[in-house]
Structure 1
Amino acid sequence: MSYEHSLPGVLASIRKAQEWIQFVASPTHPDLARDAGEVIGELMAIAIRRTPENVMVRLKATPSLEGLTVEIRDPGLLYMPDGPEWAKLSTRVWTARCSRDETGHLIEVEIRSRQAVPP
């Protein structure tokens, strides 16, 4: 089962997205709720910089047995995961993918337990 949410491209949406993802993660992965909140906060901050206030940022979360997959779609340009922003995020995610199409930019990350070891 996936959960979807849309928020406007304003700074107040960062906290709302964090609360939403923690609510989604808590029933199946309470140990990941805090990390998920921090990750989505960083991703929302990036997305908001490229999103006009009257345009929505779309979020999708899909819990799995291993963790939580989170997608954030904004109308902005492609964001390549490098530099200081990505250095912080990369310590909290298992995998990450970025893409761009005619509707905007999509980043997808998978969050798993810190005890897990990437392949």
Structure 2
Amino acid sequence: MVSSCVTLLVAMFLQHRTLVIYNKVYPDRMLNLKSNSRKEAERELLAKMDEGERWTVYRSAYSAYKTTNKMLIAGIMLFTLYSMMFGFTPLPIIVLGIILLVQQTAYYREFGKMYK
């Protein structure tokens, strides 16, 4: 429990430090760390990018989506096999299924906005 809290704090520190360094390296594209809205910050970041950078971001996001999708399905199958061999434990399967469902819903909702 302690190690997970320490890991979380270190990750939060490193993420904040990365954003501070990014703002120093790219002063013309500074990210507002004190923004009230995450969506507003995302729009601001995308607005500062040129077409090539947006294309790279979109491709990398789609690649991450596909990889996460495959890993969630593999995890569901792995936990199903584990449950069949060592006793039924439905919680990990349900959690991964919910994450997969939320991810698919968010993806297709955003995809549907493009064609309205």
TM-score of the aligned structures, taking structure 1 as reference length: 0.23
Q: Which has the higher contact order (CA 8 A, sep 6+)?
A: 1
Q: Which has the higher helix share?
A: 2
Q: Which has the higher strand share?
A: 1
TM-score of the aligned structures, taking structure 2 as reference length: 0.23
